[in-house]
Amino acid sequence: MYSLASFVTLLVALLHAYFLLLEMFFWDKPLGLKAFGQTPESAAATKVMAINQGLYNGFLAAGLIWGVALGPAGDGIKLFCLGCVLLAGIVGALTASRKILYVQAAPAALALLLLCLA
C-alpha cells in the first residue's frame, strides 16, 4: 500500500513528465505556445533550450518514480529529487513566472512535508 507521501510524489513525477512532453515535443505547437504564453517566433528561437530543459524534467520524473518504486529504501532519492524540484520551482518563480511557484514548487513542498512526516 502506498502512502499519501508516495501518492503526492507520483503526482509531482507526472507533472514533470508532462513538462517533458510540453518542452521537448510541444514547445512550438499550439499546446506549448499556450502553456508558456509564447509567440511562434520566440518558441522557434528557444526550441533547442526547451528540449534540454524538458530532458531535465524527465530526469526528475524518473528519479521520483524510482524512489517511490523502492519504497522506504528510496526515501533518500525522493528527498533529493523533491528538493531539486522545489529549488527549481523557487528559482523559476523568481526569474520566469510566479505561476511556477504554485505549479511546481508547492506540490514538491507538500510531497517533501508528507515524506518527512511519514
Tally of CB atoms within 10 A around 7: 12
**69 in Cβ contact with 81 (< 8 Å):** no
What angle (nearest 5°) sits at the alpha carbon of residue 34, between those of residues 28 and 39?
A: 55
Render pLDDT for 85-105 as a digit per residue (tens, 0 to 9).
999 999 999 999 999 999 999
Specify the residue for cell string 510531497.
Answer: 111
Q: What is the mean pLDDT of residues 40-66?
A: 97
Q: In this model, does residue 36 exceed pLDDT 70?
A: yes
- Per the CB < 8 A criterion, the answer to whether 61 and 20 are in contact is yes
Nearest Cα neighbor of 13 from 84, 94, 72 is: 84
Kindly give, in sequence order, each residue whose CB lies less than 8 Å from that of residue 95, ignoring residues fewer than 6 positions away.
none
Q: What is the pLDDT of residue 1?
A: 54
Nearest to 57 by CA among 28, 19, 92: 19
Q: Is the pLDDT reported for residue 37 higher than 60?
A: yes
Q: At 117, is the secondary structure helix, strand, or coil?
A: helix
Residue boundaries of the structural domains of the chain:
4-117
pLDDT recorded at residue 118: 86
